[in-house]
């Protein structure tokens, strides 16, 4: 997540960065973003994500009858 922008990136997103600083003692590398391109999302066969289906896409468990 970007510290100042709050922007998040996923696997598959193309980003171009510049190395700004390297701290070998702390084992840290600081980058600055030059450009980015979002990867298309794979939404499946029917084109609807689970969050868009609402409760219709969920199965409910049967209540236990107890013993």
Hey, where are the domains in the chain? 1-40
Q: What is the pTM of this model?
A: 0.44
Confidence of residue 39 (pLDDT cuts 50, 70, 90): confident
Say whether pLDDT at 13 is over 80: yes
At residue 10, what are phi and psi to the nearest 5 degrees? Answer: -110, 165
Question: What 3-state class would DSSP assign to 55?
Answer: helix
Say whether pLDDT at 25 is over 90: yes
Question: What 3-state class would DSSP assign to 61?
Answer: coil
Residue 21: the pLDDT is 97
Say whether pLDDT at 19 is over 80: yes
Q: What percent of the chain has pLDDT over 70?
A: 64
Beta bridge partners of 61: none
């Amino acid at each position: 997540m970007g510290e100042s922008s709050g922007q998040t990136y996923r696997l598959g997103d193309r980003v171009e960065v510049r190395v700004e600083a390297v701290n070998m003692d702390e084992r840290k590398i600081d980058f600055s973003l030059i450009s980015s391109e979002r990867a298309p999302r794979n939404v499946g066969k029917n084109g609807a994500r689970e969050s868009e289906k609402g409760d219709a896409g969920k199965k409910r468990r049967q209540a236990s009858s107890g013993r």
